[in-house]
Amino acid sequence: VYCLFQALRQISQRTISTASRRLVNRVSENQKLFQEDNGLPVHLKGGAKDSLLYRTTAGLTLFGTMYAVYYLLVSSMPKKPN
């Protein structure tokens, strides 16, 4: 049992150490991108992906609000007698 535990520990440490070597530190690149004065709000400085995410979120929010208002109006109307 101890041998199995030791083997698993070595494998996990090896995996963690090799995974950390593949990471590239791009913090300074991102800082330059987000601190650049180009007139864009910070939530859109990431490019097309951020713009798509923002528009999708805004659209879903608008749709959800209209849907909720519609059902509030429908619910507030008296039911017709059969």
Residue 63 has pLDDT above 90, yes or no: yes
What is the residue extent of each domain of the chain?
Answer: 43-81
pTM: 0.57
Mapped to the 3 state alphabet, what secondary structure does the chain carry? CHHHHHHHHHHHHHHHHHHHHHCCCCHHHHHHHHHCCCCCCHHHCCCHHHHHHHHHHHHHHHHHHHHHHHHHHHHHCCCCCC
Please compute the mean of the pLDDT values over residues 5-18 and round it to a whole number.
73
At residue 2, the pLDDT reads 74
Question: Is 31:40 a contact under the CB 8 Å cutoff?
Answer: no
